[in-house]
Amino acid sequence: MCTNAPLAAGKHTLITVSIIAVCILAIYAIMFGNYRVNLAIDTPWYLSISYNFCMKGIDTDPTFGGSFPFAMGGTVAFGKLAAMLQCAALAPFNWSLAAANVLSVAGVMLSVAAIFAFLVGEGFGCLGAVTCCLALAATEPFIAMANQSKYEYITFFLAVSGLLLAARRHLFLAGLISVLAIEVQPIGIMAPIYVISYELSRTLQTRRLRLEFDRIAKLVLGGVLGSVGYFILHPDILALLAASSNSAGWNAYPTHFLYEYFFEARLYRHLPELAVFTACFLVHIWRRDYMELPFPIIASLATFFIGFFLHHGNSFYVPFWYFPSFLLVFLTIGVAWRAVLFPALALVLFVPQYAVAYVEGHKYADQGALQVARSVIASRGTDLTHAHIFGDSIFWPVFKDLSFEWSPSVLSKQPRGTSYLICGLDPPFFTFEHVCADELPAFSDMQLIEQFSWAGRKYLVYEQRE
């Protein structure tokens, strides 16, 4: 239940917060379908994994050629729950990118709602919980999570739901959901970390330094059931782990996921956030603010250190650290100011970045125009169900129901039969994609049949008949 204690002085606070909420909702509406869509290779990649599993019964990654442990490698080790969810939600809409975007936004909004319920349960006033959640939703890690159809929004929702259930004393369900989060992605390990951090926080707050075996037993039983569920979904996981134990893929991406976010982003645009986090962390320790609510500092440090063991420098994992660290900053900032200052500061910091992302991404938002590539190939009179089509990642939604493969994954293994190659003349969006001049040598006897333009970029369509 919300308390009535206000978090900011002034009679206009509620009106100001309402205006800020409208601004943040407007950001989500404006960025919908426009947030760095030209760079969102993981959206078609993850959707193809779900599509292949649900619609074609394939649990590997034939479309993009990823193999475990270098990549997800399909759903052989993780992701079957996420694939089933996306299948149920997106199949009625023909797996459109817009529907996938709606689903990811809904997942983030549900996560924010769970965080709100958690904060209220921990004694926050309604106004404080709302402003904290608004500010968190306005940050780029959450905007990015809402606008790419990777599995993180599902994993994060399960993680904060497990935390909320633990706080509400539904410990068996908390243990169950926390372990199931690991099935979705390896970063799901943060879900039990959240629950353990909360239990430690609760122990410190009550100053009862003894184990409550009934709580531990319920969590463990839930976790055991979740583990059983994992092995039912992945009965061959032990053999897969044994076969890949010496694979270089385990150390293919050795950097911490925060390193990519703070130190590899363009123009180092996230360093101001790092400065704020560092300053507030030091003040938080010095003033002993953690005595009010130990969970944020425990979870922040725990998720930070766990990141060193993940060996996958994926900046889309940042929300799992950002949430408890953001809460730490919120508790550190003065009570009399934070209700308005916190979300307003988030807007000032991130809106210029979103403006740049919108300008860069908007001209690529109309990906439906890429259907011209399918029309070109269909006009050749070929039975498309037996053709092999190769192209950049942006063409997966156009050919998802056919034999489509990401061209960089097949440069050395062109299959037999009629093949089509769609390649670009402009510099590719990603360093591991190629222009026509680099791709053509890998395909024999290709003949140019058509060219078209999309968003100011030129593409060529080649055919090879057998």
Contact 116, 129 (CB under 8 A): yes
Specify which residues 99 forms β-bridges with: none
pLDDT at 3: 52
Residue-wise pLDDT for 42-75, tens only, equals 899 999 999 999 999 999 999 998 888 888 889 9
Report the Cα 103 to chain-centroid distance in Å: 12
In terms of C-beta distances under 8 Å and separation of at least 24 residues, what long-range contacts does 302-306 make, across chains too? 302/193, 302/196, 302/197, 303/190, 303/193, 304/258, 306/189, 306/190, 306/193
CA atoms within 13 A on the CB side of 200: 15
Do residues 96 and 149 touch, judged by C-beta distance below 8 A? no
User: Domain check: are 42 and 58 in the same one?
Assistant: yes
Least confident span in 161-165, 173-177, 220-224, 450-454: 450-454
398 and 271 belong to one structural domain:
no
In a domain, 1, yes or no: no
- Quick: pLDDT tens for 374-408: 999 999 888 888 889 999 999 999 999 999 998 77
Tally Cβ neighbours within 10 Å of residue 293.
19
Residues 193 and 92 in one domain: yes
Statement to judge: residues 235 and 321 lie in one domain: yes
Count of all residues that appear for the chain in the document: 466
* pTM score of the predicted model: 0.93
User: Same structural domain for residues 291 and 435?
Assistant: no
200, part of any domain: yes
Are 257 and 378 in the same domain?
no
Question: What is the rounded CA–CA span in Å between residue 21 and residue 36?
Answer: 23
Residue 368 contacts by C-beta under 8 Å, 6 or more apart in sequence?
Answer: none
* Residue 2 falls inside a structural domain: no
| Ranges of H-type helices in 122-236 | 126-137, 140-146, 152-167, 171-184, 190-206, 213-233
- Alpha-carbon distance of 285 to 282, in angstroms, equals 5
Do 371 and 346 share a domain, yes or no?
no
Distance CA 75, CA 252 (A): 19
Is residue 252 scored above 50 in pLDDT? yes
Q: Which one of 328, 362, 396 terminates a domain?
A: 362
Q: 5 lies in a domain? A: no
Residues 396 and 286 in one domain: no
Residue 195 phi, psi dihedral angles, 5° rounding? -65, -45
Q: What is the pLDDT of residue 336?
A: 52
Close Cβ partners of 83 (under 8 Å, ≥ 6 residues apart): 49, 50, 53, 54, 75
Asked if the structure places residue 24 within a domain, the reply is yes
The pLDDT of residue 311: 73
**Residue range 237-263: mean pLDDT, rounded:** 84
Q: Verify that 153 and 98 share a domain, yes or no.
A: yes
Residue 4 lies in a domain: no
Rg (CA), the chain: 24
CB 142, CB 24: distance < 8 Å: no
Q: Considering 333, 362, 391, which residue would you say is the last residue of a domain?
A: 362
Q: Report the C-alpha gap between 235 and 218 in whole angstroms.
A: 25
DSSP state letters, 262-310: HHSSGGGTTHHHHHHHHHHHHHHHHTTGGGT--HHHHHHHHHHHHHHHH
In the chain, the percentage of residues whose pLDDT exceeds 70 is 93
Number of domains within the chain: 2
DSSP per-residue letters across 179-208: HHHHHH-GGGGHHHHHHHHHHHHHHHHHT-
Among 299, 327, 362, give the residue marking a domain's end: 362
The structure tokens 């060996």 sit at 311
Q: Which of 370, 364, 367, 373 is nearest to 461 (CA)?
A: 373
139 lies in some domain: yes
**Residue 334 confidence class, pLDDT cut points 50, 70, 90:** low
Residues 174 and 60 in one domain: yes
Are 317 and 257 spatial neighbours (Cβ–Cβ below 8 Å)?
yes
8 pLDDT band, cuts 50/70/90, is very low
Q: What is the 3-state secondary structure (H, E, C) of 18-63?
A: HHHHHHHHHHHHHHCCCCCHHHCCHHHHHHHHHHHHHHCCCCCCCC
- 412 and 448 housed in the same domain: yes
210 and 101 inside one domain: yes
**What residue numbers bound the domain in which 110 lies?**
13-362
